[in-house]
């Protein structure tokens, strides 16, 4: 059924392992189940009609928020560091210092530019961010069955949530762990809350107190479906105690030729250039 939904670009290293995991998730039922998902290029589309779609950070790189010079500076950072993020020849350890430098520099530029809380809404409206097809349906299936969905993102929480408000809805089963902006009394950006979350530190170390209580509340849910597009996303469930089954679905959108063998090795199911949430939805329909 998953293959039918996805067509040809679905890769599974070990079908027996995946079948067993899926059976475990179905047998465990809806009350043992939770979902942990990345946001950019996992719930949102990587491209549309051949044009790259923007990320949470990218949404702010618009004229409503930044002047031309600042936009250029942020675009230059992205050009340099995104190549490192997806470089198939570097290890995660080698990439980490560069990611910290990217996020810290970008956040400093945003603070210096005095981003206004009110401009986020308009920037999202005018951006080309698009949720994947049937993402809204996915949120609904999970919410109707009271399955908790943690969106764990190295993007910007305030932007991500605005995307959900505008393009879908922010349902009660959703929890966001991401970089939250801090504003002063005039609604001007003055910093970010807590520890910085970048693509390669999305693990238990990045979880805040509120995330700790989130996991405490759902500690009876030992079965997980993890959705991500980056090798760093594989660690998003590291903070969950006593995991029974964790099915990892990886969305591969870039440097497919180089990265595919590594993705097939690391993820249970790999979906290449999938603009939909259909495969996850088939699974969720079977569990709920």
Of 33, 102, 200, 215, which lies in the binding site for ligand TMP, with binding defined by CB under 6 A?
Answer: 102
Q: Is 37 in the site for ligand TMP (CB under 6 A)?
A: no
Taking the least distance from each CB to ligand TMP, the nearer of 22 and 43 is 43
**31, 40, 233, 278: which one is catalytic?**
40
Nearest to 151 by CA among 135, 130, 129: 135
Taking the least distance from each CB to ligand TMP, the nearer of 123 and 287 is 123
Site residues (CB under 6 A) for ligand TMP, limited to 221-260: 230
The number of helix segments (H) and strand segments (E) in the chain equals 11, 11
Give Cα separations from 138 to 31, 145, 148, 264, 277 (angstroms). Answer: 17, 11, 12, 24, 7
**14, 16, 27, 38: which one is catalytic?**
38
38 carries an active-site annotation: yes
Of 153, 223, 245, 253, which lies in the binding site for ligand TMP, with binding defined by CB under 6 A?
Answer: 153
CA quadruple 213, 117, 127, 86: dihedral sign? negative
- Tell me the number of residues near ligand TMP by CB under 6 A: 19
Our CA angle for 257, 259, 260, nearest 5°, is 70
Task: Look at residue 204 and give its three-state secondary structure.
Answer: helix
Per CB under 6 A, the segment of 37-45, 162-170, 253-261, 266-274 that binds ligand TMP is 37-45
Taking the least distance from each CB to ligand TMP, the nearer of 34 and 37 is 37
For residue 135, the minimal CB distance to ligand TMP (Å) is 14
For residue 192, the minimal CB distance to ligand TMP (Å) is 11
Of 6, 21, 45, 57, which lies in the binding site for ligand TMP, with binding defined by CB under 6 A?
Answer: 57
Of 155, 246, 249, 274, which lies in the binding site for ligand TMP, with binding defined by CB under 6 A?
Answer: 155
Q: Is 162 in the site for ligand TMP (CB under 6 A)?
A: no
Taking the least distance from each CB to ligand TMP, the nearer of 28 and 275 is 275
Q: Which two tokens stand for residue 115?
A: 């981003």
**Residue 168: Cβ-neighbour burial (10 angstroms; 0-12, 13-18, 19+):** middle
CA quadruple 18, 23, 29, 30: dihedral sign? positive
Please report where in the chains the tokens 């004229």 appear, as a residue. Answer: 63
238 carries an active-site annotation: no
For residue 154, the minimal CB distance to ligand TMP (Å) is 3
DSSP summary character for residue 118? H
Q: Please name the residue ranges forming H helices in 48-144.
A: 56-60, 68-85, 92-112, 117-126, 135-144
Q: Is 58 in the site for ligand TMP (CB under 6 A)?
A: yes
Buried b (16+ CB within 10 A) or exposed e, 76-105: ebbeebeeebbeeeeeeeebbebbeebbee
Taking the least distance from each CB to ligand TMP, the nearer of 32 and 54 is 54
Contacting positions for ligand TMP (CB under 6 A):
38-41, 55, 57-58, 74, 77-78, 85, 102-103, 106, 153-155, 199, 230
The residues assigned a catalytic role are 38, 40
């Amino acid at each position: 059924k998953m293959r039918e939904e996805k067509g040809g670009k679905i890769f599974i290293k070990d079908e027996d392992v995946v079948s067993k995991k899926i059976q475990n998730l179905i047998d465990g039922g809806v009350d043992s189940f939770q979902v942990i998902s990345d946001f950019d290029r996992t719930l949102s589309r990587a491209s549309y009609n051949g044009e790259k779609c923007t990320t949470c950070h990218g949404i702010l790189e618009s004229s409503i928020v930044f002047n031309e010079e600042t936009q250029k500076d942020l675009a230059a950072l992205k050009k340099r560091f995104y190549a490192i993020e997806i470089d198939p020849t570097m290890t995660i350890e080698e990439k980490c210092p560069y990611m910290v430098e990217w996020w810290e520099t970008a956040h400093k530029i945003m603070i210096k530019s005095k981003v206004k809380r009110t401009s986020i809404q308009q920037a999202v409206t005018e951006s080309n961010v698009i949720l994947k097809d049937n993402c809204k349906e996915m949120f609904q299936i999970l919410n109707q069955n009271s399955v908790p969905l943690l969106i764990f993102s190295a993007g910007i929480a305030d932007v991500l949530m605005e995307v959900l408000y505008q393009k879908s809805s922010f349902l009660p089963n959703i929890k966001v762990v991401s970089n939250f902006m801090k504003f002063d009394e005039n609604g001007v950006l003055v910093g970010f809350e807590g520890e910085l979350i970048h693509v390669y530190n999305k693990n238990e170390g990045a979880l805040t107190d509120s995330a700790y209580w989130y996991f405490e509340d759902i500690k009876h849910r030992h079965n997980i479906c993890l959705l991500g597009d980056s090798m760093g996303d594989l660690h998003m469930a590291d903070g969950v105690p006593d995991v029974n089954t964790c099915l990892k679905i990886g969305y591969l959108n870039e440097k497919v030729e180089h990265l595919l063998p590594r993705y097939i090795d690391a993820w249970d199911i790999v979906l290449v250039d999938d603009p939909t949430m259909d495969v996850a939805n088939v699974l969720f329909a079977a569990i709920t």
